[in-house]
Structure 1
Amino acid sequence: MTSIITNQSAMTALQSLTTTNRNLSQTQSRISTGYRVGSAEDNAAYWSIATTMRSDRGALSTIKDALGLGSATIDVAYTGMNSAIDVTKEIKNKLVAARQPGIDREKVQAEIAELQNQLQSIAESSVFSGENWLSVDSSATGFNATKTMIASFSRSGGEVSIGTISIDIGAVKLFDANDQSGLLDAEDTTANGSLEYSVSNLDISSFTDTDDDLEDLEQMIAYVDETIGGMTTAASNLGAIKQRTKLQGEFVSALMTAIDKGVGALVDADMNEESTKLQALQVQQQLGIQALSIANQNSQMVLSLFR
């Protein structure tokens, strides 16, 4: 039946063209944005997962930056500790030389004094971003002997947790302005002269060749050697923490890459597939327009019946 009220052919052609235009618009959007799932209406589940993982990826980026900052702080402290060890070894060498009877210990002490000044300079200069782990004041407001830096971010069951790496400053400090409990300012007392001394302030200029003075000098040598051992242990601990920080930074970088890949697999558009669809849909659109035009012309053919 031919009707001028209801043009079924035109309605069918229009419906097909509308569907083609909708698919074409979707494909063009995917090509222009690069996303297969660009909003919740595309795929609510995938969009929700991708949004959460992007948020976590941003947190991991912050973790990576914090690890870089912490690694630099550790590196400065480690460098300072190594330099202090070298200078302390020189002090020990001077003390061993001063053990020789008849040597001018005042001149030796002058050299030791300069080395002691160097130790102080090294400790005070080992600063990064306002952090100094070698020269501290434990009585200062807000001081904490345990330094922590964020090292990880994780999500489990919707709950997030932050992991940290802790560094005991009390085990690596060289000077403490509060109680002289650092490795270099901690004091000992000679057995014979009852002289209080530390590596940073010992003075042998008044020592003579008496048995008591020589025994006290040997005690100082042993004490400095023991201090070098403590500093070596502290440097080893800093080195171990530095290595852990480096490995954690590499892991966080790899984790960020893995998240990027996972999110991409969920929401990124396949450009090869979408470009193929675009060409096919453009052809379908042209055919749909032509079909609708033909269907609309069919109604005009009814006029020929009244001529």
Structure 2
Amino acid sequence: MTSLMTNTSAMTALKSLQATNSALEATQKNISTGFRVSDASDNAAYWSIATTMRSDSKALGTVTDALGLGAAKLDVAYTGMNSAIDVVQEMKSKIVAAQEPGVDKSKVQSEIGALQQQLLSIADSASFSGENWLKDSGTKSLVASFTRDSTGAVSVTSIDIDLSGVQLVDSTATPTAGILGANGAASSTSVLAMNVTSGNLDNLLTDIDTALESMTTAAADIGSAKNRVSIQSDFVGALQDSIARGVGKLVDADMTEESTKLQALQTQQQLGIQALSMANSGSQSLLALFR
């Protein structure tokens, strides 16, 4: 039936055009944002997961910064320890030289005194961000990771570094603790107070050699901690990349697919406009019947 009141063809064409326009808007949004799920209304479950994982990734970014800070502190401590080892080795050679007959021990002691002052300078200078791990004692904790368990509970793990075997001197004006500040078992004097003009040279040599062994062990411990922090930092970085890839698979738009879809929808839109125009012009032909 042909009716002036109801144009069924136009109504059908209009509905089809509206659906095409709606799909076209969605595709254009995906292309402009780069996401197929950019709002909760697109896919509430995926949007929620992506939002949570992005938040966790930012937390891991903070962990990476903390590990970098810890690595810098360890690097400064390691550099200071190695420099101190070189100086103590030089002191050891001076003590050996002082045992030679006819050597002016006072001049040797003058050189040793300069080296002892250099050791104090090294210990004081090995500071980063207000912390000096060659003078501090106890345990230092570095933020190592951010985790979320299956229940959604979050926690922060840490790497603990024991400084008890790393401390060179304490923070007092005249150090009496640490590898260099504590008295040796043989000479009853510290590395910083050794004097070849008044002490037993064999005892001094025994104690300075013991101090060197302790410093070598301390340097190895710091090196191990540096390696652990480096490995953890690499892991956290890889974990961030994995999270980014996982989130991308959930919410990123496939631009090849979207561009192909856009071309098809634009063609459908043009055809829909033509179909609607043809449906609307059909009623005009009725006028010919009344001429």
- TM-score normalised per structure 2: 0.95
Match of 2:42 in 1: 42
Q: In structure 2, what is the equivalent of residue 91 of structure 1?
A: 91
CA shift, 1:83, in A, is 0.7
Inter-partner Cα distance in structure 2 for 1:6 and 1:300: 13
Query: Deviation of residue 170 (structure 1)?
Result: 2.2
Distance 1:35 1:182 in 2: 59
Bigger proportion of residues as strand: 1
* Pairing 1:161–2:155 present: yes
Give the 3-state SS of the residue equivalent to 2:193 in structure 1.
coil
Which residue of structure 1 lines up, in the alignment, with residue 224 of structure 2?
240
State the SS of the aligned residue for 2:140: strand
Partner of 1:268: 252
What pairs with 1:23-62 in structure 2 (closer than 5 Å)?
A: 23-62=23-62
Aligned length: 288
Name the counterpart of 1:187.
183
5+ long unaligned stretches in structure 2: none
Can you list the C-alpha shifts for 1:70-117, whole angstroms capped at 9, x where unaligned?
A: 111100100100110111111111111212343221111101001001
Q: Equivalent residue of 2:159, what SS?
A: strand
Ranges in structure 1 where 5+ consecutive residues have no aligned partner: 139-144, 208-215
Mapped partners of 2:58, 2:290: distance in 1: 74
Does 255-264 or 176-185 show the bigger shift?
176-185
Residues 9-18 or 174-183, more deviating: 174-183
The DSSP-based 3-state class of the residue aligned with 1:127 is coil
Match of 2:287? 303
Q: SS in structure 2 opposite 1:197?
A: coil
Residues 186 and 207 in structure 2, CA contact (< 8 A), matched pair in contact too: no
* Residue 206 of structure 1: aligned partner: 198
- Alpha-carbon separation, structure 1, partners of 2:37 and 2:67: 33
How is 1:43-82 mapped onto 2 (pairs within 5 angstroms)? Answer: 43-82=43-82
- CA displacement at 1:271 relative to structure 2: 0.8
Of 120, 141, 146, the match for 1:148: 141
CA contact (8 A) 1:135 1:173 kept: yes
Query: Segments of 4+ in structure 1 off by > 6 A?
Result: none
Do the aligned partners of residues 271 and 94 (structure 1) sit closer, same or farther apart at CA in structure 2, a change above 3 Å counting? Answer: same
How far apart, in 1, do the equivalents of 2:143 and 2:282 lie? Answer: 74
Opposite residue 204 of structure 1, the aligned amino acid is: V
Residue identity opposite 1:203 in structure 2: N
Query: What one-letter code is carried by the residue in structure 1 that aligns with 2:115?
Result: L
**Aligned equivalents of 1:279, 1:102: Cα separation in 2:** 98
- TM-superposed CA distance for 1:295, in Å, is 0.8
1:97-136 pair list within 5 angstroms: 97-136=97-136
TM-score using structure 1 length: 0.90
Q: Identity of paired residues, percent?
A: 58
Q: Equivalent residue of 2:180, what SS?
A: coil
